[in-house]
Amino acid sequence: MFDLTPEAQFALEATRQAALLVAQIEQELVGAALTKEDRSPVTVADYAAQAVVVAALQRAFPADRMVAEEESGLLRSSQSREALQRVTQYVRRVEPEANENQVCAWIERGNASAAGRFWTLDPLDGTKGFLRGDQYAVALALIENGMVQIGVLGCPKLNLSLESQPAGEGALLIAQRNQGAWVTSLRQPRSFRRLWVSQQADIRQARLLRSFESGHTDAEQIEVFARFLGIQAAPLRLDSQAKYALLAAGKGELLLRLLSPSKPDYREKIWDQAAGSLILEEAGGRISDLGGKRLDFSQGRILTRNRGVLASNGILHEQALDALRAIGAVPHEEP
């Protein structure tokens, strides 16, 4: 077993509360009649989850900084009055004394500088999955001097076996550096089970984890990659950093984020990678950019020194890097 530091205990409970709240919002606001253009449940869930995590951080570690995805400026505008009221109503389920000004202040605390010791949060990772009733996650990580020290994922639609279970108890994953990756129940945390990556060494049998959302990747070149390696297994498609949970549990072997032809200059946000990357590494896996460099979390809110992402069970990583070079998927280094 492992020892939970005070920071890890905070991260587990804050992520758990936020993920349960997001799940309630999904159940109550995302209905069959919801049109694809109506993203209001995403707005409510994003802001409410960020507010409750920052409120908890303010109590537990008042001097710590938070770097999160959302800002409160739009929420304070006159046209967002109804949205702010709804966000506040949900936040009160966790913070009963919250008012609208406090909610906005908590959200705004997520706009701190990403340097030294700070937390980074994606309050709702996988918005398309959320709206579709599929996979999404709350992702929280502690970064100190450019190194992820704690990573937590709250995945309401995964079970303890890290399989899809929409009405199950959910999965809560944690990794502390050099202490392994572990999973427990999201709704009723009990004992923790250690996670290990797959030991599959035949890349032709690799299961490739892919997103439904293709906006930040190159779906066509991923197909070329799979054909080049002779990968036979059907890909597993799901949204969010829940993919890292599956990799860490041995449910897949490879994950790619190639550069989209429409967004060749895109760089990953730190909150999209920090928590999942540590969980995968602590389960025995490996993560790098497309050129094989470690992800560099010391450059602020964006991974400016990295282009794309390759995650694996570790065993297949070098073969996958070689294949990316062979098919021309590795971006040229900038001068």
Q: What is the CATH number of the domain that holds 88?
A: 3.30.540.10
Judge whether 211 lies within some domain.
yes
Give the DSSP H or E segment for 8.
helix 6-29
Backbone phi, then psi, for 254, in 5-degree steps? -140, 145
Judge whether 231 lies within some domain.
yes
Residue 241: which CATH number?
3.40.190.80
Same domain, 19 and 80: yes
Residue 32 has what pLDDT? 41
pTM: 0.95
Same domain, 71 and 103: yes
The residue to which tokens 């990316």 are assigned: 324
- Which residues are annotated as catalytic? 46, 127
CB contact at 8 A, 208 and 252 = yes
Question: Which string of DSSP letters, residue by residue, matches 119-136?
Answer: EEEEEEE-HHHHHHTS--
CA 233 to chain centre: 25
Judge whether 1 lies within some domain.
no
Judge whether 335 lies within some domain.
no
Same domain, 169 and 215: no
Residue 261's nearest CA partner among 286, 294, 224 is 224
User: Which residue, 194, 214, 246, sits at the end of a domain?
Assistant: 194
Please write the tens of the pLDDT for every residue from 201-235.
999 999 999 987 666 678 889 999 999 999 999 99
Same domain, 184 and 288: no
Same domain, 187 and 274: no
Judge whether 300 lies within some domain.
yes
The residue to which tokens 């994950």 are assigned: 255
Same domain, 127 and 57: yes
User: Which residue, 194, 219, 242, sits at the end of a domain?
Assistant: 194
Torsion of CA 53, 174, 119, 274, to 10 degrees: -120
- Provide the number of structural domains found in the chain: 2
Residue 213 has what pLDDT? 67
CB contact at 8 A, 282 and 181 = yes
Residue 71 has what pLDDT? 80
Residue 208's nearest CA partner among 242, 158, 243, 239 is 243
Judge whether 305 lies within some domain.
yes
Judge whether 70 lies within some domain.
yes
CB contact at 8 A, 19 and 138 = yes
Same domain, 297 and 316: yes
User: Which residue, 194, 228, 260, sits at the end of a domain?
Assistant: 194
Residues 6 or more apart whose CB falls under 8 angstroms from that of 16 comprise 154, 172, 186, 189
Same domain, 110 and 212: no
Residue 190 has what pLDDT? 87
Judge whether 74 lies within some domain.
yes
Same domain, 317 and 251: yes
How many other C-beta atoms can be found within 10 angstroms of the C-beta atom of residue 73? 12
**Summary count for the chain: helices (H), strands (E):** 9, 12
Residue 66's nearest CA partner among 101, 99, 107 is 107
Same domain, 237 and 315: yes
- Segments of the chain scoring below 50 in pLDDT: 32-36, 335
The residue to which tokens 């905070």 are assigned: 10
Same domain, 223 and 94: no
How many other C-beta atoms can be found within 10 angstroms of the C-beta atom of residue 232? 11
From CA 100, how far away is CA 78, in angstroms rounded?
A: 13
Same domain, 172 and 47: yes
Backbone phi, then psi, for 172, in 5-degree steps? -125, 115
From CA 94, how far away is CA 116, in angstroms rounded?
A: 29
Tell me which residue range forms the domain holding 171.
Answer: 6-194
